[in-house]
């Protein structure tokens, strides 16, 4: 497991954005986590990426950036990421995004093409539906399942929160030090009223935007940088994939910048948090393949 070298607090609109840094001598990689996650989603990838400087923020409304106020949404996250790059003096970075972080990464490349050299998208960032199809109301609850439901829950202890995640069909089978560190970091408050750190309104605002397929397609067309897309074989509940293979194939065919492949025997979470997935993501981050 890769322990962050440093924690930074970066001034952004409304307060400070918490950022973890791993390494410090190699090229800069900006790593953007998913919709209810934190920077600790990248801990296993960081352990396999010791030759880069990996910067991973807690996005606005999550982790130690949970105190940052709205408005939430992709534009707010893009502005925060630009502020982070400015603060560390990075003109241009490789940007990796997992799940919702993939959509933020694509938007950053589309709106600030001078700041992004290439993208690595881990099971996120491509439209999940046809651009002409509106998303049904509250679809994000269905998509996320227990990950969304837990935001309204309290937990008596860290052990109780670990037990919640151990019972998750996609997390329990890959339990280990990286997963445990990810789960422990997520908690906010004091026993017996521990809560997940993600603000529900942040999840709902961001969720509505990532299900805006037309907006995602427009950002993808404008991104203009090489894109590696890594598809997990299974989804958030270790069953139906988040991305059907034929949909990814169609987007790859119509978007020449996108090179896609499936990482075998991974689900939406294990693509980052298991050794098998983390090695594949780290390889793409380092090599662009």
Q: SS3 of 187, please?
A: strand
> pLDDT digits over 26-46, tens only?
899 999 999 999 999 999 999
- Residue 218 is encoded by which pair of tokens? 């427009």
Distance CA 229, CA 281 (A): 10
The pLDDT-based confidence of 137 (bands split at 50, 70, 90) is low
The pLDDT-based confidence of 270 (bands split at 50, 70, 90) is very high
Q: Is residue 192 included in any domain, yes or no?
A: no
The answer to whether residue 87 scores a pLDDT higher than 70 is: yes
Which pLDDT value is given to residue 219? Answer: 95
Q: Is residue 52 included in any domain, yes or no?
A: yes
Q: Is residue 117 included in any domain, yes or no?
A: yes
Average pLDDT over residues 260-270: 97
Best CA proximity match to 203, nearest among 7, 8, 38: 38
Please check whether residue 98 is in contact with residue 34, taking contact to mean a CB–CB distance below 8 angstroms: yes
Average pLDDT over residues 186-192: 93
> pLDDT digits over 202-229, tens only?
998 999 899 888 999 999 999 989 999 9
Distance CA 269, CA 238 (A): 9
Please check whether residue 223 is in contact with residue 251, taking contact to mean a CB–CB distance below 8 angstroms: no
The pLDDT-based confidence of 1 (bands split at 50, 70, 90) is very low
The answer to whether residue 169 scores a pLDDT higher than 50 is: yes
Q: Is residue 146 included in any domain, yes or no?
A: no
Q: What is the mean pLDDT of the chain?
A: 92
> For residue 15, what are the contacts with CB-CB under 8 A and spacing of at least 6?
67, 68, 69
Q: Is residue 185 included in any domain, yes or no?
A: no
DSSP 68-101: --S--SHHHHHHHHHHHHHHHT-SSEEEEEETHH
Domain encompassing residue 34: 6-136+198-287
> pLDDT digits over 52-84, tens only?
999 999 999 999 999 999 999 999 999 999 999
Q: Is residue 87 included in any domain, yes or no?
A: yes
Total of domains in the chain: 1
Decide which of 252 and 9 is more confident: 9
Average pLDDT over residues 144-158: 86
Q: Is residue 182 included in any domain, yes or no?
A: no
Average pLDDT over residues 275-284: 96
Q: Is residue 51 included in any domain, yes or no?
A: yes
Q: What's the predicted TM-score (pTM) here?
A: 0.95
């Amino acid at each position: 497991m890769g322990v962050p070298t440093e924690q930074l607090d970066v001034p952004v609109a409304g307060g400070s954005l918490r950022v973890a840094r791993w390494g410090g001598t190699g090229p800069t990689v900006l790593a953007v986590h998913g919709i209810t996650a934190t920077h600790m989603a990248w801990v296993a990838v960081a352990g396999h990426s010791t030759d880069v400087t990996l910067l991973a923020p807690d996005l606005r409304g999550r982790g130690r950036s949970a105190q940052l106020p709205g408005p939430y949404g992709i534009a707010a996250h893009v502005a925060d990421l630009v502020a982070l790059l400015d603060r560390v003096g990075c003109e241009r970075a490789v940007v990796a995004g997992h799940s919702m972080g993939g959509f933020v990464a694509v938007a950053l490349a589309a709106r600030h093409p001078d700041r992004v050299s290439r993208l690595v998208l881990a099971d996120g960032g491509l439209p999940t539906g046809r651009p002409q199809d509106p998303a049904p109301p509250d679809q994000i609850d269905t998509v996320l399942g227990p990950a969304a439901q837990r935001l309204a829950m309290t937990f008596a202890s860290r052990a109780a929160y670990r037990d919640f995640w151990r019972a998750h069909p996609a997390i329990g089978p890959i339990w280990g030090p990286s997963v445990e560190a990810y789960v422990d970091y997520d908690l906010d408050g004091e026993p017996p009223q521990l809560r997940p750190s993600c603000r529900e309104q942040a999840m709902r605002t961001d969720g509505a935007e990532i299900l805006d397929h037309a907006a995602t397609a427009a950002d993808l067309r404008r991104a203009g940088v090489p894109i590696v897309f890594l598809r997990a074989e299974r989804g958030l509940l270790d069953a139906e994939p988040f991305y059907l293979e034929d949909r990814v194939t169609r987007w790859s065919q119509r978007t020449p910048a996108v090179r896609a492949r499936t990482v075998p025997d991974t689900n939406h979470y294990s693509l980052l948090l298991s050794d098998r997935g983390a090695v594949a993501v780290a390889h793409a981050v380092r090599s662009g393949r």
